[in-house]
Chain A
Amino acid sequence: MAESRIDRRFAACREAGRPAFVTFITAGDPDLETSEAILTALPGAGADVIELGMPFSDPMAEGVPIQRSSQRALAAGQTMDKTLSMVRRFREKDDETPIVLMGYYNPVYVRDPKKFVVEAKQAGVDGLIIVDIPPEADDELCIPALEAGLNFIRLATPTTDDKRLPAVLANTSGFVYYVSITGITGTAAPDAEKVAVAVNRIKGHTALPVAVGFGVKTGDQAREIGRNADGVVIGSVLVEAVRESLDEAGLATEKTVSAVTECVREIAEGARMAKTG
Chain B
Amino acid sequence: MTVQQPNTYRSGPDERGHFGIFGGRYVAETLMPLILDLEKAYEDAKADPSFQAEIDSLNKHYTGRPSPLYFAERLTEELGGAKVYFKRDELNHTGSHKINNCLGQILLAKRMGKTRIIAETGAGQHGVATATVCARFGLPCVVYMGKTDVERQKPNVFRMKLLGAEIVPVTAGAGTLKDAMNEALRDWVTNVDWTYYLIGTAAGPHPYPEMVRNLQSVIGNETRAQLMEAEGRLPDALVAAVGGGSNAIGLFHPFLDDPSVKIYGVEAGGKGLEGDEHCASLNAGKPGVLHGNRTYLLQDDDGQILEGHSISAGLDYPGIGPEHSWLKETGRVNYVPATDDEALEAFQLLTRVEGIIPALEPAHALAHVVKLAPQMDKDQIIVMNLCGRGDKDVFAVGNMLGFDL
Contact = CB atoms under 8 A, between A and B. Distances in A.
Nearest to A188: B190
A249 B297 CA distance: 32
A137 B26 contact: yes
B190 A184 contact: yes
Chain A interface, >50% SS class: loop
B229 interface: no
A58 interface: yes
A183 interface: yes
Given A61-B186, A182-B189, A183-B190, A134 B288 contact: no
Interface string A210-228: 0000000000000000000
A80 interface: yes
A106 interface: yes
B190 A136 contact: no
Contacts of A110: 286, 288, 299, 301-303
A107 interface: yes
Contacts of A201: none
B45 interface: no
Interface in A57-99: 57-61, 63, 67, 74, 79-80
Given A133-B26, A134-B29, A157-B30, A106 B193 contact: no
Interface in B24-42: 24-34
Q: How large is the interface on A (under 10, 10 to 19, 20 to 34, 35 or more residues)?
A: 35 or more
A107 B26 contact: no
A179 B26 contact: no
Interface string B59-75: 00000000000000000
Nearest to A81: B302
Contacts of B16: 136
A247 to B, nearest CB: 23
A148 B95 CA distance: 54
B356 interface: no
A235 to B, nearest CB: 15
A132 B27 contact: yes
A93 B185 CA distance: 40
Interface in B171-195: 172-173, 178, 182, 185-186, 189-193
Chain B interface, >50% SS class: mixed
Nearest to B306: A57
A74 B172 CA distance: 14
Given A106-B288, A160-B33, A182-B193, A61 B301 contact: no
A134 B182 contact: no
A4 interface: no
B55 interface: no
B304 interface: yes
B344 interface: no
Contacts of A208: none
Nearest to A109: B289
B28 A187 contact: no
B185 A56 contact: no
A183 B189 contact: yes
Interface hub of A57, A110, A157, A161 (most chain B Cβ within 10 A): A57
Contact of A61 (B28, B173, B193, B299): B28
Interface in A148-191: 154-161, 164, 168, 179, 182-184, 187-188
B305 A58 contact: yes
B34 A134 contact: no
A180 to B, nearest CB: 11
B28 A109 contact: no
Interface string A108-135: 1111000000000000000000011110
Given A106-B289, A106-B290, A134-B25, A159 B304 contact: no
Given A56-B303, A57-B173, 11 more contacts: A60-B185, A61-B28, A61-B189, A106-B290, A109-B294, A110-B288, A132-B27, A164-B33, A182-B189, A182-B192, A184-B189
19 contacts: A57-B304, A58-B182, A58-B305, A59-B182, A60-B28, A60-B186, A79-B302, A105-B26, A106-B290, A109-B289, A111-B303, A131-B28, A132-B28, A133-B26, A137-B26, A154-B29, A156-B29, A160-B32, A179-B30
Shortest 7 CB-CB contacts between residues of A and residues of B: A107-B303, A110-B303, A183-B190, A157-B30, A57-B304, A106-B303, A57-B305
Interface of A: 56-61, 63, 67, 74, 79-80, 104-111, 131-134, 136-137, 154-161, 164, 168, 179, 182-184, 187-188
